[in-house]
Amino acid sequence: MAQERDRIAHGRLAALGSATSFGIVAPLAGLAYDGGASPGVVVMARLLFGLAAATGAVGLLRRRWALPRRDWSATLAVALAWTLVTVAYMASFYFIPVSLAVLIFFTFPVLIALVAPLVAGGRPGAVTLGLALLAFAGLVLALGPDVGGLDPRGCALAFLAALGATTTFILSQRLVSEQDMFAFSFHLHLICVLAAGMALPFIGGLVWPAGAHAWLGLAGVGLFYVSAVLLQFAAIRRAGPARASIVFNAEPVITMIGAGLVLGEVLRPMQWAGAALVIGAVLLSARIDRPVPAG
């Protein structure tokens, strides 16, 4: 019993480390953009670092490279959804402030709470719907009266990323539990790199940053992304996806703090109130895992 508690505690700690790493990626991407980097460069840095790390892990640990044939179509679907997350989320920082992009993106846990019961043949409960409305209200407060001055492209990209994350979580549930995680990560990132490469002309091509700070930001995007993915796998294995997902909701808070420290972004009190509503709704929705039976 004590060993089980220790395993879960270690998993939650890994989840916090992963959320912290993911949270740091966003402001570092903003730093690279400030130095003139294109969204395409930031996206490819993130995915290529991930592919290199997965390749090294499979080779050094002597894991099997091949995936079961029955899982190829599902892996392809997850990879394309993850590509959408990476491309749309990283590109959204180019058009709107990082803090607001994060708030829009982190509606995805609430979307999962709404969609997952439907996929399982049930329906979301009234509490879940109420939390979705609470998160939406928080988003309206966070965007505030200046919403008309925001670039709609950035808002749309952040929401597309939220849809991609929703799809990824729902479709990958079986794959995460049945496949070797390093082999799965290798194939996932290989497909993502190829798909993102085809999307490069639409996300600014490869425009490299200028200045040491921008290059450090770009390198940090890749390194912290690898750390985040590895710790995420450890968290899911030790604590399970349900317990780990609750801790992952610390990411938007870490990102907003990081945006303030690295990029000098400042949120007004009303925006902090909206952020609190969004994060509160997400934390509560993470605890709702029992769909209401249909009919």
Of all residues in the chain, the percent with pLDDT exceeding 70 is 81
Residue 209: left (phi > 0), alpha (psi -120 to 50), or beta? beta
Question: Does 286 have pLDDT greater than 80?
Answer: no
Q: Is 292 helix (H, G, I), strand (E, B) or coil?
A: strand
Q: pLDDT tens digits, residue range 39-67?
A: 888 888 889 998 998 898 888 878 887 77
What is the pLDDT averaged over residues 74-83?
A: 88
Which pair of tokens denotes residue 112? 């999962």
291 falls in which pLDDT band (50, 70, 90)? very low
Rounded (10°) angle between helices 212-248 and 181-199 = 130
Highest mean pLDDT among 172-181, 213-222, 242-251: 213-222
160 falls in which pLDDT band (50, 70, 90)? very high
How high is the pLDDT of residue 290? 45
CB distance 102 to 252 below 8 Å: yes
How high is the pLDDT of residue 25? 85
193 falls in which pLDDT band (50, 70, 90)? very high
Q: Is 59 helix (H, G, I), strand (E, B) or coil?
A: helix
What is the pLDDT averaged over residues 60-85?
A: 84
What is the pLDDT averaged over residues 205-229?
A: 87
With 0.75 as the threshold, say if the pTM is over it.
no
How high is the pLDDT of residue 295? 40
Which pair of tokens denotes residue 161? 């990323």
How high is the pLDDT of residue 241? 58
Mean per-residue pLDDT over the chain, rounded: 78
Which pair of tokens denotes residue 60? 């050094």
Residue 204, judged by CB atoms within 10 A of its CB (0-12, 13-18, 19+), counts as middle
Domain ranges of the chain: 2-293
How high is the pLDDT of residue 294? 42
CB distance 113 to 281 below 8 Å: no
What is the pLDDT averaged over residues 151-171?
A: 87
